[in-house]
Chains A and B, each alone.
Chain A
Amino acid sequence: MHGEILRRLAIAIPQLLIMTFITFLLIDLAPGDILAQYRFDPRISQKTIKALEDKYHFDKPVFVQYGYWLVNFCKGDLGYSFSRNAPVTAVILERVGNTFLLGIFALVFTWAIAIPLGVFAAVRQYSWTDRIMSFISYFGMSLPSFFLALLLMYLIYLASGIPLIGSLPISGMVSAGFDQFPWHRKILDIGAHLMLPTIVLTVGALASLQRIARGNMLEELRKNYITTARAKGLPENRVVYGHALRNAINPLITLFGFSFSDLLSGAALLEIIINWPGLGSCMLAAVRSQDTFLVMGSMLMGGGMLVLGNLLADVLLIISDPRVRS
């Protein structure tokens, strides 16, 4: 198993290299550069712009620029974010925690709700509870997250007189007076701000996961060994939760690995609307303003997480499925 993990990590290196180079090339191919906003400012002279070009090698060919980036990366320097006016490492570190926090909350809630619901729906296939859940699933799946976010924000605004719901924060991660709160109020404050985005992300992801869990479960329940188990006279609970569920869960583990990479790149639009200071919105802004180094940094995070997520899924699968182990 250790050999396998090492092999995976070794493959990841060329993967990441190719990914970063393609990203770099794409940003370079797009016309214009990050200095456009300065070129279009009447107060800034040509000389100033030329000096900035020199300093950041914008006048060099793309391969040379990538070379500079790679060398600096190996030294642990991800470069300087022009649009944020700070080192890329600092920008990413500052935001990665926020995105991670939101991602983990959404992940935990989604899985904790979706799997039991899926199993429940499968066991009671075509009952009215299954139908209602199917309806809700499709509804949640078809509703874009940004729209659901705006809808919830508006509902909270309308409920402004009602205690608790009415005073829920609708945007941001902290309240205006946050820096003067004692620590326990700080935690409560962030928790309250987490409510809305967590609900939105959970509702959005819940549907598909619940459908997949239901499908897998149904498939297992139709298999011969289930019939055998039932014929042997095993209690129904044991049949469903001890045998069918155990097998139905395997494909979901791979899925879990993939969703792990979503933790850091998931919800750019939602982040913008509810003003969550995460990596997604930051990355989107960086792409739009062609802030090369920041895009590269965020890509590296996303790519790294994908590689890690796949690895994690494989390891989990080895643990849960004895057939893979041999």
Chain B
Amino acid sequence: MHRALISLCSVSLLLSLTSCHKQSASKSGDAAPVDYMAIQKKAELFVPAVGKTGGEIILSTFSDPKSFNPITATETSTSEFTQYMYEGLVRINGVSRLPEPSLARSWDISADGLTWTFHLRPGILWSDSVPITAADVEFTFNQLIYNNDINPCSSRDIFLINNKPLNVAALDSATVQFKLPVPFAPFLRSLSQEILPHHIWAPIVKKKTFAQALGIRTNPDSMVVSGPFCLQSYISSQKVVFKRNPHYWQKDSTGNQLPYLDRVIYSIVQDQNAELLAFKRGDIDFLAAKGEDFPGLKKDEANGSFTVFRLGPNTGANFLFFNQNTGRDSATGKPFVDSVKLSWFRNVTFRKAMAYALDKESMIRIVMNGLGYPQWSPMTPAEGYFYNPSVTTYLYNIKEAKRLLAEAGFFDKNNDSILEDKEGHPLEFSFCTNSGNNVRLKIAEIIRKDLESIGCKIHFQQLEFNSIIAKISNKPYEWDAVLLGLTGGSEPHFGRNVWHSSGNLHMWFPSQSKPSSTWETSIDSIFDAGVVELDVVKRKALYDQWQSSAADNVPLIYTVLAEQIYCINNRIKNINPSPNGGILHNIERLYVETGAHAR
């Protein structure tokens, strides 16, 4: 009865939503922002239908997998594939982005937060029908992650807390205990770390050849997995094919084995135009679309073969930042940044003026075809729980920008339409961004125009991504202003390298021995406190404070976030679109309407 009510509610919600869509589609070029909070609420209430086993879904990706090894991999192109193959003790819920039980059914935490005991689900099996036990967990940590013979890897970086490893011990076949040197708040989330089978890899580790294991040329049949899908085959630059794992631990509400789909096929498509055409032809089932393609897709949606979803702001920030490095070259004694420029860039009033001068609306209109959102906080709404929506905003306001610049002592004294500072130095600096990212290039072009219109003289330059990284992370730090982007994550602590003043990615002034300003000191202490605070509400308060302080002091001036636009073929059922998790987060429950496809 209760369930029926909920599904009735969701049906009526769906109806009102679709009618909404129809209205907005009828007005041409209408791109009113979607109420993504409401979509998220609805996604949290979603009750999956009982599906039919069989069929396949065809997805696309831009890059080849570089390996299928979740331990040594550092790149997203690998985790995109390994996420189907391996599970950890916990998994990150696709809708809430919070940790939930996976291979572990439950866990206990000691009062001091240092000892965590995990209880594995009974009767779970690897894809070769060998039981998954605590020995596998112990093996994964002690012999893979902490094994120095294996290439340096990011999972080791995560699980070294204050440079000390965790103590991991299997108490019995279904219980595993972790002892931490100090409390580590992101610990539970980190345990989505994939567990590998001891019985397969222990001999390989002994032979010291694990670094080459699970490579792109390894025989797929030897890859024993715990996730919903096993690798079936990989054809370089063409296809990655997964088949269902018959021993996956999840079952649906009526006891049917999950996943429903027989196969997940990735088509590797390097060109976005080709990808769009392939989706429209029905060669692939899912498309993450760009704003400029939205009107065309919306029009074709009426043919009834696919549905377009708008799910609010995406992750993946683009931000402008200035060089605030007060250091000197130890060899020549020369300051890295000219002292005049340094005095501008370190002045928060100057940075705020720059933030007000950026025309976010134009960026959204021109670059994203009207489908985008301004970003104010270092976290994005799609990153879930820790996002702080109420921080200082800098809506486009030329007057305010000019007022702040005047307050900081910038006036056009010689009427050449370039501002001069108190000592009469013209406000002139270089600005660069990386080539190869069209969206970012267009944003940079708008920023240049905006800054010139308030009286800056800009020397704009496009460099290869690698060159920019070399410039901002190495001596002699020869740059003034840069537009770059980072993809974020749900866990703020993993941005420590960017936000802690000692971090090597603290881009505006990397690797400081002690913080150079009071606000950096306070952000440092937030990150130091946040990592040991186990109370999730207090933690959220801390990271809210960080986001406010970041927005008040604008070391990174955020620009705009593109809308998440996803299109999926209507033959795929059980879709639960969520702004936090997208469309494919519940792939083990997606199924294909029978008779709906002929391929």
Which residues of A pack against B, CB within 8 Å?
A: 30-34, 36-48, 51-52, 83-86, 90, 94-95, 150, 153-154, 157, 160, 170-174, 176-179, 272-275, 277, 281-282, 288-290
Contact = CB atoms under 8 A, between A and B. Distances in A.
B505 to A, nearest CB: 5
Interface stretch (B349-357, B464-472, B536-544): B464-472
Given A43-B158, A86-B217, A32 B281 contact: no
Given A44-B74, A290-B466, A171 B473 contact: no
A241 B466 CA distance: 57
A57 B436 CA distance: 28
A178 B239 contact: yes
B49 to A, nearest CB: 26
A179 B504 CA distance: 46
Nearest to A278: B237
Nearest to B56: A176
A288 B436 contact: yes
Given A44-B154, A277-B238, A33 B466 contact: yes
Nearest to B158: A43
Given A44-B157, A48-B157, A153 B274 contact: yes
A33 B466 CA distance: 6
Nearest to A274: B274
Nearest to A271: B270
A42 B496 contact: yes
B159 to A, nearest CB: 12
B494 A43 contact: yes
Contacts of A30: 464, 466-467
9 contacts: A42-B496, A44-B157, A52-B152, A150-B273, A170-B278, A174-B239, A275-B237, A288-B464, A289-B466
Given A36-B465, A52-B152, A172-B267, A85 B215 contact: yes
Given A36-B470, A43-B154, 15 more contacts: A30-B464, A32-B470, A37-B75, A41-B154, A42-B495, A42-B496, A48-B152, A153-B277, A170-B278, A171-B271, A178-B238, A179-B241, A273-B270, A275-B271, A277-B236
Contacts of A37: 75, 465-466, 469
B67 A176 contact: no
Given A30-B464, A42-B496, A86-B215, A275 B232 contact: no
Interface string B151-186: 111101110000000000000000000000000000
Contacts of A84: 64, 66, 216
Contact of B486 (A42, A90, A277): A42
Nearest to A169: B283
A36 B484 CA distance: 13
Contact of A36 (B64, B233, B278, B466): B466
A31 B466 contact: yes
Most buried by A among B64, B235, B241, B270: B270
B158 A157 contact: no
B235 A275 contact: no
Interface of B is mostly: mixed
A177 B74 contact: no
B311 interface: no
Given A38-B74, A275-B270, A47 B152 contact: yes
Contact of A42 (B156, B215, B498): B498
Nearest to B498: A42
Contacts of B213: none
Nearest to B467: A31
A272 B471 contact: no
Contacts of B440: none
A256 B299 CA distance: 49
A85 B464 contact: no
Contact of B274 (A90, A170, A282): A170
B274 A32 contact: no
Contact of A85 (B67, B465, B494): B67
A46 B466 contact: no
Contacts of B153: 48
A47 B156 CA distance: 11
Nearest to A87: B217
Contacts of A177: 599
Contacts of B464: 30-32, 288
A303 B366 CA distance: 44
Given A32-B466, A179-B241, A275-B237, A42 B505 contact: yes
A83 B78 CA distance: 12
A176 B466 contact: no
A157 B280 contact: yes
Contacts of A38: 74
A171 B283 CA distance: 10
Closest 3 CB pairs of A and B: A32-B466, A277-B237, A85-B66
B154 A40 contact: no
Interface in B179-232: 215-217, 232
B497 interface: yes
Interface centre among B232, B268, B281, B505 (most CB of A within 10 A): B281
A290 B239 CA distance: 25
A273 B271 contact: yes
A178 B75 CA distance: 28
B265 interface: yes
Contacts of A178: 235, 238-239
B395 interface: no
Contacts of A43: 74, 154, 157-158, 494, 497
B74 A272 contact: no
A41 B436 CA distance: 18
B584 interface: no
B496 A32 contact: no
A46 B510 CA distance: 12
A176 B599 contact: yes
Contacts of A277: 235-238
A46 B66 CA distance: 22
B269 interface: yes
Contacts of A171: 269, 271, 274, 277-278, 283
Given A85-B215, A86-B216, A42 B271 contact: no
